[in-house]
Amino acid sequence: MALDIKILGPGCPKCKTLEKLTNEVVAENNYDATVTKVEDIMEIMTYNVLSTPALVINKQVMIKGTIPSKDEIKKQIEKFGNG
Domain ranges of the chain: 3-73
pLDDT tens string 20-35: 999 999 999 999 999 9
Q: List the Cα angle 67/49/62 in 5-degree steps.
A: 55
- The CATH class that applies to domain 3-73 reads alpha beta
Helices (H), the chain: 13-28, 41-45, 70-78
pLDDT tens string 38-69: 999 999 999 999 999 999 999 999 999 999 99
